[in-house]
Amino acid sequence: MEELWVPIIAILCTIGLPVGFGMYLGLTSIRAEHKERMDLIRQGIIPPERMKKKANPNRLVSLRNGIVLIALGIGVIVGFLCSENLTSDHDNEFWIIGASIVFFLGLGYLTYFLVTQKMAIAQPREEPEQE
């Protein structure tokens, strides 16, 4: 029974200590910000908003994710088809599937790059008028 506790304690220490320490730091930070905000309110000062907007948000994230996921699916399908139909031994299946996934992911990112380049050329940026 004693041998059973060694891996359980090791796993709990490996995972539990960093998670617990991170939670402690997060709570300490939130409490400090709250105390600072309450002190400002007591002094009659309106605290500034904490919300920060991104300077240049990427609006094409959904397009990128869609193209990459389609390419990933095609890579998996092609990898399975190639490993089943083109090889007689099953030793290289892992490498064939992995290579086709990486290849089609690269094609997906390249397609995303080309699509965004064409969109940038089609919509020239408006320059401010100079007097």
Could you report the per-residue pLDDT of 109-124, keeping only the tens digit for each?
999 999 988 888 887 7
d(CA 37, CA 33): 6
- Domain coverage including residue 65: 61-122
Examine the pLDDT at 128 and tell me if it is beyond 80: no
Q: 42 and 87: one domain?
A: no
Continuous segment of H or E residues that includes residue 41: helix 2-42
Query: Does residue 130 fall inside a structural domain?
Result: no
Model's pTM, two decimal places? 0.52
Q: Across 73-87, 97-111, 116-130, which has the greatest mean pLDDT?
A: 97-111
* SS3 assignment, position 31: helix
Query: Does residue 88 fall inside a structural domain?
Result: yes
Q: Give the amino acid at 74.
A: I
What mean pLDDT comes out for the span 95-109?
92
Q: 8 and 46: one domain?
A: yes
- Going 43 to 48 to 51 to 52, the CA torsion angle's sign is negative
Alpha-carbon separation of residue 29 from 18, 22, 23, 35, 45 (angstroms):
16, 11, 10, 10, 21
Average pLDDT, the chain: 85
Query: Does residue 43 fall inside a structural domain?
Result: yes
- Going 38 to 40 to 44 to 46, the CA torsion angle's sign is negative
Q: 37 and 68: one domain?
A: no
Examine the pLDDT at 130 and tell me if it is beyond 90: no
Query: Does residue 127 fall inside a structural domain?
Result: no
Residue 88 or residue 38, greater confidence: 38
